[in-house]
Structure 1
Amino acid sequence: MKNFIRYIKLYLHYASKHIKVMLEYRVDFLIGMFSTIIQQGISIIFLKIIFSNIQVLKGWTFYEILFIFAIAFLGRSIHHIFFDNLWTLGWQYIRSGNFERLLLRPVNPLFQVISERFQQDGFGQFIIGIIILLYSTSHIGINWGITEIGMLILFIISSGMIFVAINLFFITFSFWMVDSLPIVVSVFGLSEFARYPVTIYHKSITLVITWIIPYGFTAFYPANYFLDAHGVSILAIVTPLVAITSFVVAYKFWNFGVKHYESTGH
Structure 2
Amino acid sequence: MRRQLALTLAYVSMLAKARLSYRADFLVQVGSDLLLQAVDLAFLAVVFTRVKALAGWSFEEALFIYGFFLIPFALFNASFAALSEVGGRYVVGGELDRVLTRPLGSLLQVQLELLRPQALNGVVLGLVVLRVASARLGFTWSPADLLMAVTGVIGAWLVYGGLWVAVASTSFWTQERGIGFFPVFYNTINFSRYPLTLYPGALRFLLTFVLPYAFMAFYPAAGLLRGEYTLFGWLTLPVGLVVFGIGLLVWQRGLARYEGAGA
Q: Same fold (TM over 0.5)?
A: yes
Paired residues in the alignment total 262
Selected match of 1:190 from 188, 191, 207:
188
Moved beyond 4 Å, runs of 4+: none
One-letter amino acid of the counterpart of residue 238, structure 1: L
Deviation at 1:233, TM superposition (A): 4.0
RMSD (Å), alpha carbons: 1.5
Selected match of 1:75 from 41, 61, 72:
72
Deviation at 1:264, TM superposition (A): 4.4
Residue 239 of structure 2 aligns with which residue?
Answer: 242
Deviation at 1:142, TM superposition (A): 1.6
On the 8 A contact 2:156/2:216 being kept in 1, the answer is yes
Selected match of 2:131 from 125, 130, 134:
134
On the 8 A contact 1:84/1:114 being kept in 2, the answer is no
One-letter amino acid of the counterpart of residue 215, structure 1: Y
Residue 203 of structure 1 aligns with which residue?
Answer: 201
On the 8 A contact 1:194/1:216 being kept in 2, the answer is yes
Deviation at 1:117, TM superposition (A): 2.3
Residue 120 of structure 1 aligns with which residue?
Answer: 117
Deviation at 1:78, TM superposition (A): 1.1
Selected match of 1:12 from 9, 12, 19:
9
Deviation at 1:107, TM superposition (A): 2.0
One-letter amino acid of the counterpart of residue 125, structure 2: I
* Mapping for residues 6-155 of structure 1, pairs under 5 Å: 6-155=3-152
Selected match of 2:215 from 214, 217, 237:
217
On the 8 A contact 2:224/2:230 being kept in 1, the answer is no
Distance 1:29 1:174 in 2: 29
Deviation at 1:209, TM superposition (A): 1.3
More helix by share: 2
Residue 171 of structure 2 aligns with which residue?
Answer: 174
Equivalent residue of 1:56, what SS? coil
Deviation at 1:84, TM superposition (A): 3.3
Structure 1 portions without partners, runs of 5+: none
Residue 251 of structure 1 aligns with which residue?
Answer: 248
Identity of aligned residues (%): 27
Partner deviation per Cα, 1:218-237 (whole Å, 9 max, x = no partner): 10000111113x63342222
Equivalent residue of 2:259, what SS? coil
Distance 1:231 1:242 in 2: 18
How high is the TM-score relative to the length of structure 1? 0.93
Deviation at 1:175, TM superposition (A): 0.3
Partner deviation per Cα, 1:120-172 (whole Å, 9 max, x = no partner): 22122222212211111111122212221122111111111111111001111
Distance 1:194 1:22 in 2: 30
Equivalent residue of 2:190, what SS? helix
Distance 2:249 2:108 in 1: 14
